[in-house]
Structure formats: structure tokens, C-alpha cells
Amino acid sequence: MAQKDKLIQCPCGKGSYLACCGVFHGDGANAPTAEALMRSRYSAYALGLGDYLMQTWHGSTCPESMDLSAEMRGGKWIGLTVKASQETGHKAEVEFVARYKPHVGPARRLHERSRFVQEGGQWFYVDGDLYDS
């Protein structure tokens, strides 16, 4: 891999992609924390990695399928801010704000408190509550 590829900024904003979320997307490593999983899921949305999103979604709430191309329609995820993260045993909550710029119109914010569960040493997204922005 070329040196410049190693320096590409991770969509989640926390370092180089290959050293951050790329480890989970490409190498199949499990995210060590719920916050790391949430960041990797944000990056997966930004990069159009629907298979990764499905693999990290808890079976009890996972949709049968998802079409990221239909959801994105020329837009772009433009930033992530983690506001709070709390793990209690095998459960966790992560509050974040994700910013998205649609192809047409003003940028939007998605403010969510997500719930996660750890099973067999792997964290999974369960669901979340959206805040009014």
C-alpha cells in the first residue's frame, strides 16, 4: 500500500483511516469498545460499506437489507462528534452528532443516543433515540 494511502484521514475524525476504522472494516477485527464500533459504523456509512453495517447490527433489530446508494443520493457525511459514551458491563450507550450534506439543500445533523450490546466479545448496535436538532 502506498504511503499516501496510510495517511488518509478516517471519516470518524480520529486519525488515519488504516489505523482507525480501517482495522475493523478491512481486517475483520472486533471493535474493543461501543464507541469504537459507533465510530466505525459512522465511517461505514460515509464510505458506503453496507455489509459492515449489517454485520455489526444486532440480530434482534437488524433490517433484512439496506441500500446505502438510495439513502445517499449524492450526499456526503461531513463530520462526527461524540458527546458521551458509557459502558456498563455488556451494555453501552453512545451519544453523538453526525453531520450530513445532501446533494441539494443545507447540511443536516443527526443527533442520536445509540444502544449497544456485547455478545461473545463483539459489540453490536441495537437501536437508538434521535434528538430534535
Give the whole-number percent of the chain exceeding pLDDT 90.
Answer: 77
**pLDDT for residue 100 is more than 80:** yes
**Do the beta carbons of residue 106 and residue 126 sit within 8 Å?**
no
Q: State the CATH architecture for 3-131.
A: Roll (3.10)
C-alpha to C-alpha distances, 37 to 27, 54, 108, nearest whole angstrom: 14, 13, 22
**Cell numbers that stand for 44 in this block:** 461505514
Q: Could you state, in order of their start, the residue ranges of all structural domains in the chain? A: 3-131
pLDDT over 70 at 1, yes or no = no
Please, are residues 33 and 83 in contact by the beta-carbon 8 Å criterion?
A: no
In the chain, the amino acid numbered 51 is D
More confident residue, 132 or 91: 91
Q: What is the mean pLDDT of residues 62-69?
A: 86
Does the pLDDT at position 133 exceed 70? no
Question: Looking at residue 3, what is its pLDDT?
Answer: 45
